[in-house]
């Protein structure tokens, strides 16, 4: 999943990026509202973590513009304002959740998991395909209770397929979700990752298939 963090405080931003990175998601970090607004207009994200007090364009205005564009990406608001009126105002404007600073990184991660579940239509942290079960919280993939040894990137790639089992993903879409805004991987990197994941799924009853000229999807054999 690709997540956009819009936060001007360096210490807070670095902590958020580190927390999201350990969850295996791709993360972009915009340090002001205008940059965040531009990236949202030109990129696809599965979640936005938005501070309210931002330079150049405040969080409330950015959120309003986002919803006026009919963009339904989930938005988690971060703010030092703990008042009920502030929470109500942002939720009424279209925010999906509100987290008061300072916060524990574990709560941030839990709220991120919850919002991503809602966005993908999942009710639990487990994604299933045949005998394969993927635990989003523990970041473990198992077949019949036995752990499959996958790298962090391979786990992220598997999660993308499992969260949208009927969708065919092209290389550009996978690059977009697996790597950040300033990353430099190529479509060849995706081909290598697909090949490695396929090898590790041999004998599991799960396969990453290629639809020639279209992309890849996960299927149960």
Count the Cβ atoms, other than its own, within 10 Å of residue 156. Answer: 21
Distances (CA, A) of 135 to 98, 126, 132, 191: 25, 5, 10, 25
Whole-number pLDDT of residue 5 = 97
The dihedral sign for the CA sequence 43, 27, 125, 161: positive
pLDDT of 209 > 90? The answer is yes
Provide the pLDDT for residue 152: 87
pLDDT for position 181: 59
Taking 90 as the threshold, does the pLDDT of residue 186 lie above it? no
Q: What is the mean pLDDT of the chain?
A: 90
pLDDT at 125: 76
- Which ranges constitute the DSSP H helices of the chain? 10-22, 33-42, 59-68, 84-93, 105-120, 152-163, 171-178, 187-200
Lowest mean pLDDT among 121-125, 149-153, 186-190, 207-211: 121-125
Q: Domain limits of the chain?
A: 2-120, 126-220
The per-residue pLDDT for 165 is 87
CATH of region 2-120: 3.40.50.2300
Range 126-220 classified under CATH 3.40.50.720 = no
pLDDT, average across residues 11-18: 95
At 123, is the pLDDT very low, low, confident or very high (cuts 50, 70, 90)?
low
Token pair in block for residue 84: 């009920």
Give yes or no for residue 173 having a pLDDT over 90.
no
Which of residues 183 and 167 earns the better pLDDT score?
Answer: 167
Angstrom distance (rounded) from CA 108 to CA 199: 34
- At 107, the pLDDT band (50, 70, 90 cuts) reads very high
46-71 average pLDDT score: 94
């Amino acid at each position: 999943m690709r997540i956009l963090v819009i936060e001007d405080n360096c210490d807070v931003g670095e902590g958020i990026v580190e927390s999201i990175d350990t969850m295996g998601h791709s993360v972009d970090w915009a340090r002001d509202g205008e940059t965040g607004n531009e990236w949202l207009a030109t990129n696809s994200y599965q979640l936005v973590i938005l501070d309210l007090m931002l330079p150049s364009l405040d969080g409330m205005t950015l959120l309003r513009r986002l919803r006026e564009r009919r963009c339904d990406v989930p938005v988690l608001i971060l703010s030092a304002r703990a008042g009920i009126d502030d929470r109500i105002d942002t939720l009424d404007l279209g925010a999906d959740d509100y987290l008061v600073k300072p916060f524990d990184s574990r709560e941030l991660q839990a709220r991120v998991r919850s919002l991503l579940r809602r966005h993908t239509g999942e009710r639990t942290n487990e994604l299933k395909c045949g005998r394969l079960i993927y635990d989003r919280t523990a970041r473990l993939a198992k077949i019949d209770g036995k752990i499959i040894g996958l790298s962090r990137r391979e786990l992220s790639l598997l999660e993308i397929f499992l969260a949208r089992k009927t969708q065919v993903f092209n290389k550009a879409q996978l690059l977009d979700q697996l790597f950040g805004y300033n990353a430099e991987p190529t479509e060849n990197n995706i081909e290598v990752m697909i090949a490695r994941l396929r090898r590790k799924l041999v004998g599991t009853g799960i396969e990453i298939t290629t639809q020639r000229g279209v992309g890849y999807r996960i299927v149960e054999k």
